[in-house]
Structure 1
């Protein structure tokens, strides 16, 4: 057993030596060696499910001389990004492997805050193509998919059945009509129709982009140019604004982040909710923490004229350009993003796997019934703006869209101002 482990470690070391020899693996790292080995750090948002710690425990038991320390950042993604940028700006080696939101890759790669990686050393061909694309920048690989994410429509099967409705809504009009029928039921007293994540933070950018995409529009095109002066963009924003006005979306949803919306659905206060897959097992717990356990299912997000399009979520692992012990870091990225680790992680939290095979595994589908819907959500998802200055773009989106949702601006005025701001940003002004 000892000899087998020794051989495995030698193969691992040889692999990393090969990785270090590839020039692409260290384009942003300056004089920092890509062959050094030793302790490293893994930097990510708060580990609310215990998944990260379980994975790191597995690694650390196998690599006692190359242990990984978890640097846990705030839950808020905007705060995570800022701390990573601050570390990069000072060229600190405190952060080694970064867990990047999929929309950050372009910004971090363009600034050379992360190293370019060699594609041939990662099993990208076994992953879903839209997910792989999130790690690319100008033809190069700068981050490796560790998990994906797609929005789904959670709906109360018990209430829809009582109202004589036999399938979830496919369009926004059907969603509102179904709500009207459900809310006639005595069992639906005090229940609101629909909610997503509408507080002024990254979740609002996600929900707004989904509304525009689901109306047939785009926030920005492949070249980063905004397209918010279109009928599709207006219809997408108007769906959200009118839903707040007519009570389809409760007013308090303007304060909702993911956990707020989850608690509202689990407590039985919503018929429908737009949410990520992490909520599925939490809402289905039989320990009394959820009033809707066994009473809900998931479906694709509805759209204007048919099924909608989720924003593509998820996290990729990248190598900090100023890090030390990069050979160990590359090994760790391979370990963390492997199919085996993703299968293991599903036992802790229902993150969306990146490997096609895991969505087709009968055992996993039986255990996690949301997987087929989630796969379709990811395959039809649209990335948020993949632009150089993503932080400025999402801040502008949040500011203008929130103003429209709360009545501080008209939809037309908010979109006009947002189009102007994003055009100026795209032009580098």
Structure 2
């Protein structure tokens, strides 16, 4: 495919133009690939800095950049290049902060974790997008709100993420659990506890899992997310929208009590879970050590290489889950900011979002979750071909996404679960001092998990003091 072919704008593309007004880049024809913006700028390529594309070296992010380049093969100034940063999320954040603060790397677009937007915006490292702050009805509202700080929009949602409840259908069936104990999209945490109790009492000798469920309790961001899931279940808020600390020892005690109930030793795979990240919990689930698991959407595709389709399924987590994901922002020091905004619009447009969903990421647009028969956009043809099973080079057990495409039935159920979970999801605290916040939370909570008889009053007082300092930037 070379260049952009003329076509009538679909409903999804018209909706996309509402968001593109932020970029002053939605052209009269309503195409996904706007014409170059007038003005002087440095020659290309447009450099996109991101964490490793965990769908592989030929994964979906690289394929989207390749599609952009195909559409602009005769426009050298608009060529793009993806630069992948090694290491985990904390290391990537440090690399991006150092590079943007020093000007040592000429990054034009940066792919930021949703929790980093206030920090990078407050430091003046990313540009506020031009134009009016408008709503795009095609973008999930809570996801879109992660792009804002102090009433200004600094990014556009690239891919989102949300916690899901995976369950082993085979283990549940052989335990004799009746139909009203099967997981559903409106389960409460008590429903999960009751099912785990039934599972433990009914399983045949020698075949039972070690424990009912597992989740990520190692002292890293996975632990923070699990705590925030529990806090959301009892409506504990830590901060206002502008980053002002609002919790008290009493509300923190309520949240901590709920969290310890979620991960009670009688139902959670402990002590293994205390050192587990996403991949470790996925392994325990695939090995049959547990019947239930909290994990992200990537796990659905990753499990396809380890379990038969009839062995597992997925529904939204009980209650409200915490959002993850990444947003794309234009570097404040970009010498190619006009071109970068055009690439930003392309990468976050309806067809690109559909590609991300096909690859195993959670898409940010509602239209991506609709049936193609109802007008849902399709992935770019060349990108879709590269993502078909057997053509992508990525590891299917990679953390954020998978290049595998499930069957029509599996895909429909999986997509439905993601959408329902996203529409009820909540954010982690919005603060320029997020790093200090999450370290303080992890330190206190992980200590509680290792105590035989935790003192919640003392822990709540300690956490209140630590979080007060963290949110104040001290």
> Shared fold by TM > 0.5?
yes
Q: Measure how far apart 1:150 and its partner are.
A: 1.2
Deviates more, 1:239-248 or 1:292-301: 239-248
Equivalence for 2:91: 79
Q: Secondary structure at the match of 1:70?
A: strand
How far does the alpha carbon of each residue in 1:241-264 deviate from its partner, in whole angstroms, 9 at most, with x for none?
Answer: 353433533211111111111222
CA shift in 2, pair 1:82/1:428, >3 Å:
closer
Counterparts of 1:292 and 1:321, CA distance in 2: 48
The answer as to 2:211 corresponding to 1:192 is yes
- Give the equivalent residue in structure 1 for 2:67: 58
Counterparts of 1:158 and 1:2, CA distance in 2:
48
Distance 2:277 2:131 in 1: 35
Q: Give the Å deviation of 1:135.
A: 0.5
Residues 153-162 or 314-323, more deviating = 153-162
- Give the match for residue 102 of structure 2: 90
Aligned to 1:293: 309
Alpha-carbon displacement from aligned partner over 1:353-378 (angstroms, at most 9, x marks no partner): 11111222266875342222212211
What is the alpha-carbon distance in structure 2 between the residues aligned to residue 351 and residue 239 of structure 1? 29
- From 352, 356, 360, give the equivalent of 1:345: 356
Structure 1 residue 55 displacement after superposition: 1.4
> 2:238 aligned with 1:251, yes or no?
no
Partner of 2:291, secondary structure, is strand
1:24 is matched with which residue? Answer: none
Q: Is the 8 A contact 1:403 1:414 kept in 2?
A: no
Question: What is the match of residue 189 of structure 2?
Answer: 172
> What secondary structure is seen at the aligned counterpart in 1 of 2:265?
helix
2:47 match:
41
Structure 2 residue 276 is matched with structure 1 residue 264: no
User: Partner residue of 2:14?
Assistant: none
User: How many residues end up aligned between the 2 structures?
Assistant: 403
* Contact 1:182-1:188 at 8 Å conserved across structures: no
What CA distance in whole angstroms lies between the structure 1 residues aligned with 2:173 and 2:4?
57
Q: Structure 1 pair 140/270, CA: closer, same or farther in 2 (3 Å)?
A: same
- Is 1:403 aligned to residue 447 of structure 2? yes
1:359 aligned residue: 369
What SS does structure 1 have at the residue aligned with 2:126? coil
Q: CA deviation at 1:71?
A: 1.8
Q: For 1:276 and 1:378, locate their aligned partners in 2 and report how far apart those are by CA, in whole Å.
A: 12
What are the within-5 Å matches in structure 2 for residues 109-148 of structure 1? Answer: 109-119=121-131, 124-148=136-160
Does 1:321 find its partner at 2:332?
A: yes
Q: CA deviation at 1:332?
A: 1.2
Decide whether aligned partners of structure 1 residues 121 and 381 sit closer, same or farther in structure 2, where only a CA change above 3 A counts.
Answer: closer
Q: Is the 8 A contact 1:225 1:423 kept in 2?
A: no
Q: 1:312 matched to which residue of 2?
A: 323
Q: Which deviations, in whole Å up to 9, do the C-alpha atoms of 1:113-170 show, x marking residues without a partner?
A: 0011125699833211111111011111101011111111111223333332322272
CA 1:386/1:312 → structure 2, altered by over 3 Å: closer, same or farther?
same
Secondary structure of the residue aligned to 1:127 is: coil
Instruction: Report the secondary structure of 1:211's partner residue.
Output: helix
1:388 aligns with 2:398: no
Deviation for aligned residue 1:103: 1.3
Match of 2:343 in 1: 332
Over the aligned positions, Cα root-mean-square deviation in angstroms equals 3.0
How many Å separate the matches in 2 of 1:90 and 1:62? Answer: 33
For normalisation by structure 1, the TM-score amounts to 0.85
Is the contact between residue 122 and residue 334 of structure 1 (CA under 8 Å) also seen in structure 2?
Answer: no
Distance, in Å, in 1 between the alignment partners of 2:80 and 2:221 is: 29
Contact 1:359 1:375 (8 Å CA) reproduced? yes
Residues 215 and 232 in structure 1, CA contact (< 8 A), matched pair in contact too: no
Matched, 1:238 2:257: yes
Distance across 1 between alignment mates of 2:116 and 2:295: 21
- Which of 452, 461, 464 lines up with 1:416 in the alignment? 461
Structure 1, gaps ≥5 residues long: 21-32, 303-307
Shift of 1:339: 0.8
